[in-house]
A and B are shown apart, each in its own frame.
Chain A
Amino acid sequence: MGMTMTQKILAKHAHRDSVSAGDLLVSQVDLVLANDITGPPAINEFEKIGKPVFDKNKIALVPDHFSPCKDIKSATMCKRMRDFARKHEIKNYFEVGQMGIEHALLPDKGLVAPGEIVIGADSHTCTYGALNALSTGMGQTDIGCAMASGTSWFKVPQAIKVNLTGKLPKYVKGKDIILTIIGMIGVDGARYQSLEFTGEGVSELSMADRLTICNMAIEAGGKNGIFPVDEKTIEFLKERGVTREWEAVNADEDAEYARVLDIKLDELVPVVAYPHLPENTHPAKEGHAIKIDQVVIGSCTNGRLEDLEQAAEILKGHKVCDHVRMIIIPATQQIYQEAMHRGYIDTFIDAGAAVSTPTCGPCLGGYMGILAAGERAVSTTNRNFRGRMGHVDSEVYLASPYTAAASAITGYITSPEEVVK
């Protein structure tokens, strides 16, 4: 029987000719990731095992969640991770000044290539499927163990085949595609499964779109999301200096899928996920009754250069509505600098937005844009759970950078084409 992309990657790393959905196996991994929240407890678990790190070049530690440190407690946790990185000579430890949001940073640093397995103590580790890698989130015990062994245990997942066809309308982006899919199948619609994207529509999507889509596979309960390799992938890898050998992985013709979803890109519209689940999607143009207090553009989901470009395209020559606070957070230093060179940062500041150094901060209610009771935010982040961005009685509406920027101008949920002159 044929295998899906995910199954093939698992089989290869477990040194097996084939695997089937449901098999439990131990597999080698190519990169092990943790951040300032999950790293310290992962290190605690690692130290209980009493072995050295399996490979100092294959561990990535990124202080991004509460960093630059927001208080003494988070500074203590970051110090714990920094000391560990120095002691074990971890090559891919990224200090404040070089660090960015982990899932934007790792692909940009050339640390992920097709066919590789990346596991990370962060649920959005699934982002790298955009590069045809198998990447998935785990907890700190798993990651602590993998830092010692270079392996992990996996249950081979079934897959949902997402067949993309047609052309993408102007203001519809990766975020709208994945929110639409989550709205169709629900927040547990891909539970324990892979979302495997395929079809002629794939070529319509930029790498930023694909990264955003795979990033939110977890919001449908998925183990991972994954795209095949095409010219855009090859170009992306080349630009990021990936020179090691890699092999593109394609699904077998006779691979078995749990179900097939047909997504006609032409029919999609900008959407917004209302509180308190990412599956509560509504067309953005129906949101005029929802007055907002804050807009956040950033995060591992939508803090890339293209996302900032879209925000700047909408904001150029406009002002942020006077009852809205707008916070824009480039996901990495490199993105920040390039956005500055291209004049996006000027556009943001001219519009009245605050621009911050890279951090996950507001996405998870950490700092840098926390909501009070009764406040509402439109955000390009990934979760709108109760209390996610602050008080339990605050609300988060998930949207694309286009929609978020348009909403910042009007002060209520607004579809991007409504503000374009």
Chain B
Amino acid sequence: MSKVWRYGDHIDTDVIIPARYLNIADFKELAEHAMEDAKENLEINFAANVQPGDYIVAGKNFGCGSSREHAPVVLKVKGIKCIVADSFARIFYRNAINIGLPVLEIGADVEKIEPGDEIDVDVNNGEIKILNKNITIKTKPLPEFIQHIADCGGLINYIKGENK
């Protein structure tokens, strides 16, 4: 069963992947430090326990701070299926789209999703179902241009497609 990893507001990129590990070029090795500096990590140990297909659900301004793409990359490497947040910091959002990691911005509705909830996310239709509460949250679809990058699996594939 997919687990929801629930975080608060302003989760910054130094928390998602601390800079002290950015000398590690291998993303798999780097991903073992994902979310390491989150204040709840001593109890939950994200990197050791996250399973492919899990979700991250967070508050406002997720991914604020550094432009390091290592942040969305380590979450993708760990198999996070989608990040749902009240809002995202601009560079993180852009980086996630560019590497093909789905992100959904849903505003204050994010409060409806609590730790332990079971959710199912339909990224293409912008629909989040909270299965155990029988709640469906709908969001605006991505702009066509950005959806196209996402559909290509990221910016590199998109550009390669354009060059053909």
Question: A33-41, A164-172, A407-415: which lies at the B interface?
Answer: A33-41
Chain B residues lying within 8 Å of A77, measured Cβ to Cβ, are: 23, 25
Check B160–A139 contact: CB distance below 8 A: no
A364 to B67, CA, bound (A): 12
Scan A119-156; emit 1 where CB is below 8 A from any B CB, else 0.
Answer: 01111010000000000011111101100110001000
Tell me if A115 is interfacial: C-beta within 8 Å of chain B: no
Tell me if B159 is interfacial: C-beta within 8 Å of chain A: yes
Check B10–A142 contact: CB distance below 8 A: no
Would you list which residues of chain B between 144 and 164 have a CB under 8 Å from chain A?
145-146, 154-156, 159-160, 163
Number of contacting residues on A, CB 8 A?
Answer: 52
Chain A residues lying within 8 Å of B72, measured Cβ to Cβ, are: 139
Partner of B19, one of A48, A121, A153, A366: A366
A153 to B143, CA, bound (A): 13
A144 to B69, CA, bound (A): 12
Chain A residues lying within 8 Å of B99, measured Cβ to Cβ, are: 139, 141
Check B156–A386 contact: CB distance below 8 A: no
Known contacts A145-B156, A364-B66, A385-B15; is-contact A138 B25 (Cβ 8 Å): no
> Nearest Cβ distance between residue A41 and chain B, in whole angstroms?
7
Number of contacting residues on B, CB 8 A?
Answer: 40
A383 to B160, CA, bound (A): 37
Would you list which residues of chain A between 62 and 79 have a CB under 8 Å from chain B?
65-66, 70-71, 73-74, 76-77
Scan B65-101; emit 1 where CB is below 8 A from any A CB, else 0.
Answer: 1111110100000000000000101110011001100
Tell me if B14 is interfacial: C-beta within 8 Å of chain A: yes
Tell me if A161 is interfacial: C-beta within 8 Å of chain B: no
Would you list which residues of chain B between 34 and 71 have a CB under 8 Å from chain A?
37, 39, 60-61, 64-70
A112 to B25, CA, bound (A): 30
A364 to B12, CA, bound (A): 13
Tell me if B140 is interfacial: C-beta within 8 Å of chain A: no
Known contacts A123-B67, A364-B66, A386-B39; is-contact A24 B145 (Cβ 8 Å): yes
Check A122–B67 contact: CB distance below 8 A: yes
Would you list which residues of chain A between 242 and 281 have a CB under 8 Å from chain B?
277
Check B145–A38 contact: CB distance below 8 A: no
Chain A residues lying within 8 Å of B154, measured Cβ to Cβ, are: 141
Known contacts A141-B154, A387-B14; is-contact A73 B89 (Cβ 8 Å): no
Q: Which residues of A contact B (CB under 8 A)?
A: 24, 37-38, 40-41, 45, 48-49, 51, 65-66, 70-71, 73-74, 76-77, 80, 120-123, 125, 137-142, 144-145, 148-149, 153, 187-188, 191-192, 218, 221, 223, 277, 364-366, 370, 383, 385-388, 392
A-B contact pairs, 19 of them (CB 8 A): A37-B19, A41-B70, A70-B23, A76-B25, A122-B66, A123-B67, A138-B91, A139-B72, A142-B95, A188-B64, A191-B90, A218-B91, A221-B89, A223-B90, A365-B14, A365-B19, A366-B20, A383-B65, A383-B66
8 shortest interchain CB distances as A-B pairs:
A139-B69, A139-B95, A73-B23, A364-B19, A188-B61, A137-B67, A123-B67, A387-B37
